[in-house]
Amino acid sequence: MPAKSQAQQKAAGAALSAKRGETKKSELKGASREMYESMSEKQLEEFAETKRKSLPGKKS
The pLDDT assigned to 28 comes to 95
Residues 39-54, mean pLDDT to the nearest whole number: 88
The greatest distance separating any two alpha carbons of the chain, rounded to the nearest whole angstrom, comes to 32
**Per-residue pLDDT at 58 exceeds 80:** no
Pairwise pLDDT comparison (35 vs 60), residue with the higher score? 35
DSSP reduced 3-state for 25: helix
The pLDDT assigned to 60 comes to 63
Distance CA 46, CA 29 (A): 20
